[in-house]
Structure 1
Amino acid sequence: MKDIVVIGSGGFSKQVIEIIEQLNLINEEYKLLGIIDDNKSLVGTYVLGYEVIGDTDYIKQFSEQKNIYGVIAIADGGVRKEISKKLNGVQWVNLIHPSAVVSDYIKIGEGNIICAGVVINPDFQMGNHSHINIGTTLGHDVTMLEYVTVMPGSRISGNVTLKSNTMVGTGSTVIQGLTIEDNVVLGAGAVVTKNTEPNYLYKGVPAKRYSKKKSI
């Protein structure tokens, strides 16, 4: 079995824990050692019965002694980027919920999380450390780069590119053929009908450009 840790003890960690448990019901592959969180006051607390065992410095030292597998259960792509670079001794795994419908014709990096009810069509490409949350659909020929977060119930049409550190808000829609540039946030329910510029918040129907974000 692979010794695995979940990094981050917030609400999304509960979904990730359940994915691991559901995968183990099919093929007992992972031993969940516990949760990692840089809020040291949480050490010794529990998430769904699994203990917060230490912070990222602790697991960095631990991974130097044995093979440790992991995923980062934190919604902020910028934070995931920092942690993934810090913990270069951890072996990152992809976790895909058994109920997800995923084409055989995809390319996927490492450290990704695909939740329950997701549908992914052929010729999908996914970088590293990205999240696709529950009930999301992605059309054919979608490209998703690194540290992307897609929130529940989103609809990504065919031939769309989501660049690094994009966050797609709950229930958003991106029509076919568009590019969502780096470090963009789409507000909940946004309907994107044009290519975006990097480092902005877009919201509304159709989505319009609002405040500028700090680039990472």
Structure 2
Amino acid sequence: MDKPVIILGAKGIAHPALEIFNSNQVIVYGFLDEDASTHGTEINNVPVLGHTEDEGFLKLIGKKTEAFVAVDDSKYRKFLVDMLLENRKMQPVNAIHQRAYVSTDAAIGHGNFVNANVIIGAGTEVGSHCIFHTGAIIDHKSKIQDFVQIGAGSIINAEVTIEEGAFIGSGVTIVAGVTIGKGARVGAGSVVIASVGKNETVFGNPAAKVK
């Protein structure tokens, strides 16, 4: 990557995103954040320049810089992604840690956060704007749709489908072949042995629907 990166967001995954770009010798120009109290502060000597919708900084994106959206909340992340696409005609870059492994025949979209020790297996299809926390394992031929978040140390076994916007907590195990529906949530430490419906929340071992 030749251009420096502006990171949208200065909390949550923003700090590890900076570390990821540093690990790949990519310069981070600065952060933008909606919280005015962060403006003028620094993260590891990189400044928080202003608001995520500050046109003075946004106009640099696509011309002089790339962008990465480092926001945990999926609705706000989608808003910022749509803003970049509409106003700057560009997609955020991926942030993939040097110590992550992405199979040579995995397909991966735009704007994904892939932290250290993540494994994305052969034939896996990953959409865009997903978050894979440290040590998550995505086994072969799984399908991960857009805006999915997978917690640290979770194991997604072979040929699992996780639909758009689903949230998988830390330390979850999902057995091979099941589907996690759009917008579903799986609580930390759960073992999922059956498919989970759209917008359902499940928890436990074996995971059961939370009413």
The one of 66, 75, 80 aligned to 1:78? 75
Task: Name 2:156's counterpart in structure 1.
Answer: 156
The AA in structure 1 aligned to 2:175 is I
Q: Could you give the per-residue CA deviations for residues 97-153 of structure 1, whole angstroms, max 9, x where no partner exists?
A: 111122101111100111101112100111111111101111110101100111100
Aligned residues: percent identity?
Answer: 29
**Distance (whole Å) between structure 1 residues aligned to residue 156 and residue 54 of structure 2:** 38
- Answer with 90-99 or 148-157: which moved more: 90-99
Secondary structure of 2:206's aligned partner:
coil
**199-208 or 172-181, which deviates more:** 199-208
**50, 57, 66: which is aligned to 2:46?**
50
Q: Aligned partner of 2:6: which letter?
A: V
Contact kept, 8 Å, 2:12 with 2:72, in 1: the verdict is: no
User: In the alignment, is residue 32 of structure 1 matched against residue 28 of structure 2?
Assistant: yes
* 195-204 or 75-84: bigger deviation: 75-84
Q: Which has the higher strand share?
A: 1
1:66 and 2:63 correspond: yes
Partner of 1:11: 12
Which ranges of 4 or more aligned residues in structure 1 deviate by more than 4 Å?
Answer: none
Gaps of 5+ in 1: 25-29, 212-216
- How far apart, CA to CA, are the structure 2 residues paired with 1:69 and 1:77? 20
- TM score, norm. by length of structure 2: 0.92
State the Cα RMSD in Å.
Answer: 1.6
The alignment partner of 1:11 has SS state of coil
Relative to the length of structure 1, the TM-score reads 0.90
Unpaired segments ≥5 residues, structure 2? none
Secondary structure of 2:125's match? strand
Task: Encode CA deviations 1:134-192: one digit per residue, 9 max, x unaligned.
Answer: 01111110101100111100000000011111111000111000100111111110111
Closer/same/farther in 2, CA of residues 103 and 61 from structure 1, 3 Å limit = closer
Amino acid at match of 2:124: F
Contact 1:142 1:161 in 2 (8 A): yes
How many residue pairs get matched? 206
